[in-house]
Amino acid sequence: MALQQTVLKVYFGALSFIAPGRAAKRGFDLFQKVRKKDIRPREEDFFKKAKHFQVKAELDEHKVDQIDCYELGQAEQPLVVLVHGWDSNAGSMSQIANKLVEQGKRVVLFNLPGHAFSVHDTTNLLECKNAVTAVLKHLNPAAGFSVVSHSFGSAVVAYALSKNDYELDKLIFLTNPNRVERIFADFKNFIGLNDRAYEKLLQLTQKKLGEPIESVSVAANLNAVNYNQLLLIHDKNDKILGYYNSLEVKEGNPKAQLQTFENIGHYKMLWNNEVIDNCAVFLND
């Protein structure tokens, strides 16, 4: 990883100096690249037993994808939609899904664009927002459904719901990246873009989103969502998304409660029995 970062910094550092616009474009392409990981054995079982269906989604004006969706439970039961994080897949949420089905829930999961079995290998926040919107439109959920999301999926959920008028019961964010601009700043430093190239990268991003990047935050988007309660779960020592993200979302939000853990990890939390039980209790309360 250190060698890869060194190579990236040398390349983008030089390109930023020579052609900042080109460096921004190539950086933007790299930022959208999904690392498709092998489906793990514990995820394979989920994909085998879940009911599979596809939803057509217009991701942007030039890109259409078939979103792979998976369903467990009975159609007449209360609906919970689960949304995975970056570089992951619907199966990563399967342990939570199984628990909720035991509790009498209908659970729908799906692979975000560019992930798992998608023919594409790139995506971004806008495309994922459009995918969530397409899936919800297909499901046409009754008022009072709930959503559980992990990591990047929490930003996607908050963004998508803020652009729609659904009435939700409960939200659970298993970590979240509150401010999207912070992710871009970390990316800038990781690949070594200079300030001129970084400004052009932000311009490309804002053109794609159609709004200033600093306005896209989980906390701000939640203000436009109609929901009853929010549960934030975060490891105090999370090395992927800092604990401060959930503190920021909770601040000034009377609908939110924060459960703090230690040493449950960023990804392993999805298979942690205490986390899973807490999700089930919160949704059944």
Alpha-carbon distance of 104 to 127, in angstroms, equals: 32
What integer pLDDT is reported at residue 4 of this predicted model?
81
Other C-beta atoms lying within 10 Å of the C-beta of residue 50? 21
- Supply the DSSP symbol for 176: -
Separation of first and last alpha carbons in the chain? 44
Other C-beta atoms lying within 10 Å of the C-beta of residue 238? 21
User: What confidence tens digit (pLDDT) does each residue in 224-262 have?
Assistant: 999 999 999 999 999 999 999 999 999 999 999 999 999
- Supply the DSSP symbol for 263: S
Contact 135, 111 (CB under 8 A): no
Domains of the chain by start residue, with CATH: 1-31+180-215 (no CATH), 37-179+217-284 (3.40.50.1820)
- Name the E strands within 73-225: 79-83, 106-110, 145-150, 168-174
Contact 12, 191 (CB under 8 A): yes
User: What confidence tens digit (pLDDT) does each residue in 74-99 have?
Assistant: 999 999 999 999 999 999 999 999 99
What integer pLDDT is reported at residue 1 of this predicted model?
62
Sort 38 into a burial class: Cβ within 10 Å, 0-12 / 13-18 / 19+: exposed
Alpha-carbon distance of 235 to 75, in angstroms, equals: 34
Could you tell me which residue, 114 or 214, shows the higher pLDDT? 114
CA nearest to 172, candidates 267, 82, 78: 82
Alpha-carbon distance of 177 to 241, in angstroms, equals: 6
Alpha-carbon distance of 50 to 212, in angstroms, equals: 39
Task: Report the amino acid identity of residue 20.
Answer: P
What's the chain's Rg over C-alpha atoms?
19
Alpha-carbon distance of 66 to 120, in angstroms, equals: 10
Alpha-carbon distance of 57 to 170, in angstroms, equals: 25
User: What confidence tens digit (pLDDT) does each residue in 135-176 have?
Assistant: 999 999 988 999 999 999 999 999 999 999 999 999 999 999
What integer pLDDT is reported at residue 5 of this predicted model?
79
- Does residue 185 carry a pLDDT above 70? yes
User: What confidence tens digit (pLDDT) does each residue in 11-70 have?
Assistant: 999 999 999 999 999 999 999 999 988 899 989 999 999 999 999 999 988 899 999 999
The token pair that represents 193 in the structure block:
């873009």
Alpha-carbon distance of 237 to 260, in angstroms, equals: 10
- How do beta strands 63-72 and 106-110 pair? antiparallel
Alpha-carbon distance of 68 to 262, in angstroms, equals: 34
86's torsion region: left (phi>0), alpha (psi -120 to 50) or beta? beta
Alpha-carbon distance of 247 to 176, in angstroms, equals: 10
User: pTM of the prediction?
Assistant: 0.95
Compute the C-alpha angle 241/232/135, nearest 5°. Answer: 90
